[in-house]
């Protein structure tokens, strides 16, 4: 059993505890230089990748994939705005993140195999991911979100993925 915990006392980052808490063995996953901050968002279903949010790429919060084995980060965004990583899809083929630009928050889907990022077709406003464990339904066919815009109060919505976009 592996678990992730904050790297207390050595800056901001994470360590992976192999074998669970009882074994006491851990592996440092993120470097600790300067004022870099790392937030763990979600493990891929196979446990080999970790979706993170960090400012270590360019000083701004961006989404990246951390390979747990090699500790290499592949940046999915390199924006100069507020990006927050979200969940992996249940099949591990897609990830989500939100980007806040000038007070409007958009939700993005990234197809890992194709390397293609798409903004979800939601009204302008503050769109955030919903759900307790994941915004995705268990089968990955639907996404729960919240939308708060200028012309309406907060609402809860659900997007059903078109068949062409589903990677089952």
Q: Which domains can be identified in the chain, with CATH numbers?
A: 3-165 (2.120.10.30)
| pLDDT of 9 over the 70 cut | no
pLDDT tens sequence across 96-154: 999 999 999 999 999 999 999 999 988 888 999 987 678 878 888 787 777 776 655 55
Name residue 139's beta-bridge partners.
none
Please give the Cα distance from 142 to 149 (Å, whole number). Answer: 22
What is the 8-class DSSP label of residue 136? B
Average pLDDT score over residue span 39-47: 90
Q: Per the confidence metrics, is the pTM higher than 0.85?
A: no
Please give the Cα distance from 126 to 33 (Å, whole number). Answer: 33
| pLDDT of 86 over the 50 cut | yes
Residue 87: Cβ within 10 Å count: 20
pLDDT for res 11:
45
Question: Residue 165: helix, strand or coil by DSSP?
Answer: helix
Average pLDDT score over residue span 10-22: 47
pLDDT for res 155:
59
Please give the Cα distance from 84 to 9 (Å, whole number). Answer: 24
Backbone angles phi, psi at 45, to 5 degrees: -55, -30
**Residues ≥6 apart with Cβ < 8 Å to 106:** 98, 99, 119, 120, 122, 127
Please give the Cα distance from 159 to 111 (Å, whole number). Answer: 17
pLDDT for res 166:
44
More confident residue, 11 or 159: 159
Average pLDDT score over residue span 81-100: 95
| pLDDT of 85 over the 60 cut | yes
Question: Are 81 and 100 contacting, i.e. CB atoms less than 8 angstroms apart?
Answer: yes
pLDDT for res 163:
43
Question: Residue 166: helix, strand or coil by DSSP?
Answer: coil
Using DSSP bridges, classify how beta strands 14-18 and 3-6 pair: parallel, antiparallel or unpaired: antiparallel
- CA 91 vs CA 12, 98, 158, 160: distances in Å: 30, 20, 19, 16
Write down how long the chain is: 168
């Amino acid at each position: 059993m592996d678990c992730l915990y904050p790297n207390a006392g050595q800056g901001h980052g994470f360590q992976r505890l192999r074998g669970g808490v009882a074994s006491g063995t851990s592996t440092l996953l993120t470097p600790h230089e300067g004022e870099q901050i790392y937030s763990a968002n979600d493990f891929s279903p196979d446990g080999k990748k970790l979706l993170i949010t960090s400012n270590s790429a360019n000083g701004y919060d961006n989404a990246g994939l951390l390979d747990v084995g090699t500790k290499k980060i592949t940046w999915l965004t390199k924006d100069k705005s507020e990006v927050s990583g979200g969940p992996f899809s249940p099949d591990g083929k897609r990830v989500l993140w939100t980007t806040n630009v000038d007070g409007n928050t958009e939700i993005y889907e990234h197809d890992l195999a194709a390397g293609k990022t798409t903004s979800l077709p939601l009204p302008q406003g503050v769109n955030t991911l919903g759900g307790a464990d994941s915004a995705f339904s268990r089968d990955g066919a639907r996404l729960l979100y919240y939308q708060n815009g200028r012309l309406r109060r907060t609402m809860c919505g659900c997007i059903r993925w078109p068949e062409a976009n589903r990677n089952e």
